[in-house]
């Protein structure tokens, strides 16, 4: 198709303070740039991608130049009169990162409007000629209306909507909350801590993936990827996308889902794991989409177009019918076969293992840079292909466990309490990385530190809650210790 292959969201300009007092200014953050970079590494920068976010007149030109350098359409950067979202990221030598918003009135409603623009404010090409979208959400407060519109647009173009949490839930998700979250996307990719905050503690990433697939309703997420940091990722897919999975099927297992375990890229020289989870999501989505044949993707686009045309015709006919018009229109719009609910056919046949391996490769390069990588993507292609070639044979199929426990979250306690029952050392595997390692931790970019303005409920905005009146937001994700943090950071 002509148009954009991927649109991502959110830009924050980070100013980093290292434990030794060194400062590194104007680092692109927020998750969107990292996801786009991961996508482009997997495609060899042959795709046209876009970023939608609000920026002020002070948006650093070199940040825009970096976006253009990776093939990003910057027409989705929406001008605002207020400053570009910007924050100090203060690192302690024992791993804590503290985010301090730099805007005088931040956090406020205007800041959140910039971080995630409304659908109608995006350029036309971002709305109706984009194959895939990727969005970070709060697991308890997903922006349902935006997700619905993005997914419908993606399906109409023969693509998918990919979603990742930008933080763990502060309190365990209820079953209805988990089902609601999973009902509005095609690909869902949490790290272990985020997954456990949704479905409760588990003995393995395979069990987390099984529970998430069991909770995903018909028409919900068909692909689940649990990111396990230096342990790699567990990717699972329903055997019949769009059809849902019953508990009986899950216990039968063979006909319910396929799953693979992909180790992290060996000997990754970790500098900073910030953004690795975002880069993984980008690389995974690119390889999943490109891994399906061109014929399958064209067929999916043609099917989506025919469905949209038929639905529009049926709606117009129903509207023109005087008797029972309201009921007819409601029936058409609420059909379980709507384009928003029907995933493209290629999702069932795309190379799941290869996509997960490419995601790990993208994450490995992100881990070796502080901030976004500055080396031009074409110059990294040889090394990227070598890493993929070495990693692909290490991918192996796994069987999802048989158990009757679908949603193990308790009604009391916190996500932190649940995470505390995990085996020792699992925190690093969940995307943290307490001490510097020669491995891969998949942490997302600083969006998880955003708080909600006191005057407006966080639930209504879909952002993470914070302590009333506080100017600081402490990120739960741990960072590398000083030895790994030393050295000059660019951009």
With respect to residue 138, please indicate whether it lies within any of the assigned structural domains.
yes
Residue 166, CB-side half-sphere exposure with 13 Å CA sphere: 29
- Closest by alpha carbon to 288, among 206, 368, 222? 222
- Closest by alpha carbon to 488, among 373, 378, 370? 370
Query: In 173-293, which ranges are continuous DSSP H helix?
Result: 175-182, 192-199, 205-215, 247-252, 276-291
- The domain total for the chain is 1
What's the token pair of residue 358? 């490419």
239 in Cβ contact with 204 (< 8 Å) = no
Helix axes 205-215, 192-199, angle to 10 degrees: 50
pLDDT given for residue 257 in this prediction: 84
With respect to residue 328, please indicate whether it lies within any of the assigned structural domains.
no
Kindly list the distances between the CA atom of residue 56 and the CA atoms of 35, 70, 77, 459, in Å, as whole numbers in the listed order. Answer: 22, 21, 9, 26
171 in Cβ contact with 415 (< 8 Å) = yes
Beta bridge partners of 101: 87
**Tens-of-pLDDT digits for all 491 residues of the chain?**
468 999 999 999 999 888 888 888 999 999 999 999 999 999 999 999 999 999 999 999 999 999 999 999 999 999 999 999 999 988 888 767 788 999 999 999 999 899 988 999 999 999 988 999 999 999 999 999 999 999 999 999 999 999 999 999 999 999 999 999 999 999 999 999 999 999 999 999 999 999 999 999 999 999 999 999 999 999 999 976 655 555 455 544 444 689 999 999 999 998 888 899 999 999 999 999 998 756 555 655 555 455 444 444 444 444 444 444 333 333 333 334 444 557 899 999 999 999 999 999 999 999 999 889 999 999 999 999 999 999 999 999 999 987 645 555 544 334 333 333 333 333 333 343 333 333 444 556 655 433 333 333 333 333 332 333 333 333 333 333 333 333 322 33
Exposed, middle or buried by CB within 10 Å (0-12, 13-18, 19+), for 49? buried
What CATH number does the domain containing 60 carry? 3.40.1190.20
Strands 49-55 and 4-9: parallel
112 in Cβ contact with 25 (< 8 Å) = no
Kindly list the distances between the CA atom of residue 148 and the CA atoms of 12, 24, 217, 388, in Å, as whole numbers in the listed order. Answer: 25, 38, 15, 34
477 in Cβ contact with 431 (< 8 Å) = yes
pLDDT given for residue 296 in this prediction: 55
User: Could you tell me the pTM of the whole model?
Assistant: 0.78
187 in Cβ contact with 288 (< 8 Å) = yes
With respect to residue 209, please indicate whether it lies within any of the assigned structural domains.
yes
pLDDT given for residue 99 in this prediction: 86
With respect to residue 364, please indicate whether it lies within any of the assigned structural domains.
yes
Exposed, middle or buried by CB within 10 Å (0-12, 13-18, 19+), for 410? exposed
Supply the range of the domain harboring residue 290.
4-302+338-485
With respect to residue 35, please indicate whether it lies within any of the assigned structural domains.
yes
For residue 489, the SS3 value is coil
With respect to residue 312, please indicate whether it lies within any of the assigned structural domains.
no
Strands 472-475 and 77-79: unpaired
What's the token pair of residue 156? 């109409």
With respect to residue 308, please indicate whether it lies within any of the assigned structural domains.
no
With respect to residue 358, please indicate whether it lies within any of the assigned structural domains.
yes
């Amino acid at each position: 198709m002509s148009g954009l292959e991927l649109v991502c969201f959110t830009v924050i300009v980070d100013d980093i303070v290292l434990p030794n007092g060194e400062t590194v200014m104007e680092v692109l953050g927020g998750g969107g740039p990292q996801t786009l970079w991961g996508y482009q590494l997997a495609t060899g920068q042959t795709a046209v991608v876009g970023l939608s976010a609000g920026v002020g007149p002070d948006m650093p030109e070199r940040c825009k130049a970096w976006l253009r350098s990776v093939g990003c359409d910057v027409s989705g950067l929406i001008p605002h009169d207020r400053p570009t979202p910007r924050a100090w990221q203060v690192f302690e030598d024992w791993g804590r990162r503290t985010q301090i918003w730099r805007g005088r009135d931040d956090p406020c409603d205007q800041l959140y409007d910039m971080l995630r623009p409304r659908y109608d404010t995006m350029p036309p090409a971002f709305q109706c000629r984009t194959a895939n979208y990727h969005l970070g959400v709060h697991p308890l407060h997903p922006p349902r209306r935006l997700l619905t519109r993005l997914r419908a647009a993606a399906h109409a173009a023969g693509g998918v909507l990919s979603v990742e949490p930008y933080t763990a839930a502060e309190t365990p998700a209820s079953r209805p909350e988990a089902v609601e979250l999973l009902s509005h996307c095609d690909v869902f990719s949490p790290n272990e801590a985020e997954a456990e905050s949704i479905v409760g503690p588990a003995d393995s990433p395979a069990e987390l993936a099984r529970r998430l697939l069991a909770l995903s309703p018909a028409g919900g997420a068909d692909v689940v990827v649990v990111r396990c940091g230096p342990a790699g990722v567990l990717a699972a897919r329903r055997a019949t996308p769009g059809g849902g999975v019953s508990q009986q099927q899950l216990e039968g297992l063979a006909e319910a889902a396929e799953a693979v375990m992909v180790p992290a890229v060996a000997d990754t020289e970790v500098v900073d794991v910030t953004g690795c989870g975002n880069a993984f999501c980008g690389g995974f989505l690119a390889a999943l989409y490109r891994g399906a044949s061109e014929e399958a993707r064209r067929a999916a686009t043609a099917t989506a177009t025919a469905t949209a045309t038929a639905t529009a015709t049926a709606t117009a006919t129903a509207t023109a019918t005087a008797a029972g018009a309201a009921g007819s229109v409601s029936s058409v719009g609420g059909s379980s076969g709507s384009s928003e609910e029907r995933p493209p056919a290629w999702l069932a046949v795309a190379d799941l293992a290869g996509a997960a391996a490419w995601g790990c490769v993208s994450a490995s390069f992100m881990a070796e840079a502080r901030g976004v990588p500055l080396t031009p993507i074409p110059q990294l292609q040889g090394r990227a292909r070598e890493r993929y070639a070495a990693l692909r044979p290490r991918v192996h199929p796994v069987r999802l466990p048989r158990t009757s426990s679908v949603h193990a979250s308790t009604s009391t306690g916190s996500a932190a309490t649940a995470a505390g029952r995990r085996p020792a050392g699992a925190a690093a595997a969940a995307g943290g990385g307490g001490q510097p390692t020669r491995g891969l931790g998949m942490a997302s970019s600083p969006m998880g530190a955003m708080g909600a303005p006191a005057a407006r409920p966080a639930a209504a905005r879909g952002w993470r809650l914070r302590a009333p009146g506080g100017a600081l937001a402490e990120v739960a994700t741990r960072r590398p210790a000083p030895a790994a943090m030393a050295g000059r950071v660019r951009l």
